[in-house]
A and B are shown apart, each in its own frame.
Chain A
Amino acid sequence: MTRIPYRRPDDMTERARELTLERGNLNVYRVLANAEKVYPGWMLAGRAALTSPVLSRRLRELVTLHTAYLMDCPYELGQHKDIARTAGLTDSDIKAVISDSDWQTAGFNAVELAILRLTSELVTQHGASAELVDQVHTELGSEATVEVLMIIGRYAGLALMLNALDVDLDETARLPTLPTTT
């Protein structure tokens, strides 16, 4: 049971309401909208992550799901297991990535494996080896590497908020796919 009340979109500022409705009016948004002074900025940071074309949706969902698993966040897992299916991940891919080590032998390519390893080290140890960061940087370049890191950071931080507020997973509503910017 979510520990604090949801904000109704009708009771939000116009800007907050627009951002909430654009993202499917999910429980996560209506609960975080309680922090009304900082909610729009947090939503804009997320919007930038979700609309950037730099990473494929498949890669973003791999990182998100693995982070959600390692942070033990049922809400993120519930949303993103369904979203990942629309981003080209199979059921067995999803099962592998929400495990401690099955992803290492699940047929992911070398870049995906390096990114999952980076996610795993960072979320569990707060840091990563220089070799691993260099490997991801060599494969992806600076822009995509920083985006991967920011996505790991965003979903790790969000997991703390969702777990702290014990937010119920939406019955059927899932995050819609936003069009990417050019």
Chain B
Amino acid sequence: MSRIPLVNLDQQPESIRQWAASRGNLNVFRLLANAPRMFGGWTEMVDELFASPTFDARMRELIILRVAHPQASPYELGQHVPLARSAGLTDQQIDAIMGAGDLDKAGFGRADRVALDVVTELCTTHHLSDECFAAAHAIFGDDPFTELLMITSCYYGLALVLNAADLDVDVAGEPA
């Protein structure tokens, strides 16, 4: 049970109702729509993150899971493990991203490993060493590296909101 009441999406302004319906009426939307003045801006942000062609869905989900794990966010993990699987990450890779398997034996490429290192260092130390920055910058370049940080930042912060509310993971097929 969420510690903060979830709004009834049917009773929200048209713009919020339509946006949420087109994206599955998830509990996270019902939580954040409590703050309607911030909700619209937040949706613009996540829409751009998901529409951007810079990373494929597999890399995006790899980054998100690597953030959700140290942030200990059951909601983000519950949502994104299935998304990661359908984006092409294997169960072995998903386990390894979440610390339950050997990264060296999971068949990750060089860019995958560098992205995983960046996220882990940032989430655990809140900083990035010169070596880790240099490796990531050499592989990704200015624009994609900054976008990698944007994805990390979004899910790092969102995990705090979700964890504070102790938000229930959506049950597939159950109307919100």
A contact residues vs B (CB 8 Å cutoff): 3-5, 31-32, 34-42, 44-49, 51-54, 71-73, 118, 122-123, 126-128, 130, 133-134, 137, 142-143, 145-147, 149-150, 152-161, 163-166, 181
CB of B44 closer than 8 Å to a CB of A = yes
Assess the B156–A40 pair: CB atoms within 8 A: no
Assess the A156–B3 pair: CB atoms within 8 A: no
Assess the B35–A126 pair: CB atoms within 8 A: no
Distance between Cα atoms of A146 and B34 in the complex (Å):
7
CB of B146 closer than 8 Å to a CB of A = yes
Assess the A45–B35 pair: CB atoms within 8 A: no
| Residues of A close to B3: CB separation below 8 A | 130, 133-134, 137
CB of B32 closer than 8 Å to a CB of A = yes
CB of B139 closer than 8 Å to a CB of A = no
Contacts A44-B44, A48-B42, A146-B34: A37 and B54 contacting too (C-beta < 8 A)?
A: yes
Dominant SS among interface residues on chain A? helix
Tell me the minimal C-beta distance from B34 to chain A in angstroms: 4
Name A7's closest neighbour in chain B (CB-CB): B142
Q: 14 more A-B contacts (CB under 8 A) besides A52-B38, A146-B32?
A: A38-B150, A40-B48, A42-B45, A48-B41, A118-B164, A130-B166, A133-B4, A142-B5, A146-B35, A149-B165, A150-B157, A156-B156, A161-B150, A166-B128
Assess the B38–A122 pair: CB atoms within 8 A: no
